[in-house]
C-alpha cells in the first residue's frame, strides 16, 4: 500500500532526525510540480479528512525536507489548495458529510503539516474552538491527543482571546480523562481504555490485553506536554514537547 509506505517513511525520517541522522536515499514518489500536487490532493478522499489530511501533511513534510526546486512555491500551492476546502461554517477541512471525530482528527493532521513548514496560520480558528469545546472525542489515544493539539494552535492564532478560560477548564478535564488510561502500578498508558492497541495499519501488533502500550503511552505523554504549554505549566514541570 503506497499510502502506508509514504506515512511510515515520514515517521522513520522524523525518528532518525531526533538522533541527527538522515536517510541515504530520497523517497522518489513525491509530487514535484503543481499539476502533480493538484492530482495528488484531488485523489484523496476528503470525506474522511483524518486520512486525507495526514497525506497533505506528508506532502508538505517531503517538499520541505527534500528541498525541491521552487519548494516555497509548491508548499504555498498545496496550502492554497487545502484552504479552498476549509468550511466557513465550522472551520474544518473536508468535503461532503463527515463525523466530528473525522473533522477534529483531520484538522490535527493538516495543522501538523502547516507546523512543519512554519505556516500555522489559518482562518476560522474561533469556529474550530467552538466546535472542539462542544465535542467529546475520547474514544482512544489519537482522539485524546488530537483534540488538545487542535485547541493549542487555534488558541495561539486567537492570542488566547477566544474562550480561553473554557479552554483551560477543558484541559484540566482532559487530564482527568487521561488518568483513565494510565497504569500507575507499572507506568504507561493504554491506547484504548483498559486495552492495548491491537493493530497498526491492519497488522496485528498485540493481543489487545488490559495493559499499557507504546502507541498509547507516546500519544498521551505528548498530549500532556501540550496541555502543560496551554496552561503555562511546562517550564514549572520541565515537561517539554519534542519537535521533529
Neighbour count for residue 115 (Cβ, 10 Å): 16
> What single DSSP character describes residue 124?
-
- Of residues 212 and 241, more confidence is placed in 212
Query: What pLDDT, on a 0 to 100 scale, did the predictor assign at position 137?
Result: 74
Neighbour count for residue 97 (Cβ, 10 Å): 7
The C-alpha atoms of residue 228 and residue 220 are separated, in whole angstroms, by 12
Grid cell locating 191: 491506547
Please say if the pLDDT value at position 74 is more than 60.
yes
Query: What pLDDT, on a 0 to 100 scale, did the predictor assign at position 202?
Result: 85
Distance of CA 148 to the CA centre of its chain: 10
Mind giving me the DSSP string for 210-234? SS--HHHHHHHHHHHHHHHHHTT-H
Query: What pLDDT, on a 0 to 100 scale, did the predictor assign at position 139?
Result: 82
Query: What pLDDT, on a 0 to 100 scale, did the predictor assign at position 28?
Result: 84
Q: Assess contact for 210 and 180: CB atoms under 8 A.
A: no
The C-alpha atoms of residue 136 and residue 2 are separated, in whole angstroms, by 32
Q: Assess contact for 176 and 151: CB atoms under 8 A.
A: no
The C-alpha atoms of residue 128 and residue 134 are separated, in whole angstroms, by 10
Percentage of residues in the chain having pLDDT higher than 90: 81
Q: Per-domain residue ranges for the chain?
A: 1-123, 133-244
Bridge partners for 203 per DSSP = 200
Percentage of residues in the chain having pLDDT higher than 70: 99
- The pTM assigned to this predicted structure is 0.94
- When mean pLDDT is compared across 92-96, 148-152, 238-242, the lowest value belongs to 238-242
Averaged confidence pLDDT in the chain: 94
Amino acid at each position: 500500500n503506497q499510502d502506508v509506505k509514504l506515512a511510515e517513511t515520514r515517521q522513520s525520517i522524523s525518528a532518525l532526525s531526533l538522533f541527527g541522522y538522515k536517510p541515504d536515499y530520497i523517497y522518489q514518489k513525491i509530487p514535484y510540480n503543481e499539476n502533480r500536487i493538484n492530482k495528488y490532493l484531488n485523489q484523496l478522499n476528503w470525506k474522511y479528512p483524518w486520512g486525507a489530511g495526514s497525506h497533505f501533511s506528508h506532502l508538505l513534510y517531503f517538499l520541505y525536507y527534500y528541498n525541491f526546486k521552487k519548494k516555497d512555491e509548491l508548499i504555498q500551492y498545496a496550502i492554497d489548495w487545502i484552504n479552498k476546502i476549509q468550511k466557513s461554517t465550522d472551520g474544518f477541512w473536508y468535503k461532503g458529510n463527515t463525523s466530528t471525530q473525522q473533522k477534529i482528527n483531520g484538522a490535527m493532521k493538516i495543522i501538523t503539516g502547516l507546523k512543519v513548514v512554519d505556516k500555522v496560520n489559518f482562518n476560522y480558528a474561533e469556529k474550530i474552538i467552538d466546535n472542539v469545546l462542544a465535542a467529546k472525542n475520547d474514544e482512544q489515544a489519537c482522539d485524546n491527543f488530537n483534540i488538545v493539539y487542535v485547541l493549542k494552535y487555534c488558541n495561539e492564532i486567537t492570542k488566547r482571546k477566544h474562550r480561553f478560560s473554557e479552554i483551560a477548564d477543558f484541559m484540566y478535564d482532559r487530564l482527568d480523562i487521561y488518568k483513565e488510561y494510565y497504569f500507575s502500578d507499572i507506568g504507561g498508558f493504554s491506547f484504548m481504555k483498559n486495552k492495548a492497541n491491537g493493530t497498526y495499519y491492519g497488522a496485528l501488533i498485540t493481543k489487545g490485553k488490559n495493559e499499557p502500550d507504546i502507541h498509547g503511552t507516546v500519544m498521551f505523554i505528548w498530549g500532556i506536554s501540550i496541555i502543560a504549554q496551554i496552561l503555562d505549566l511546562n517550564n514549572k514541570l520541565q515537561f517539554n514537547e519534542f519537535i521533529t
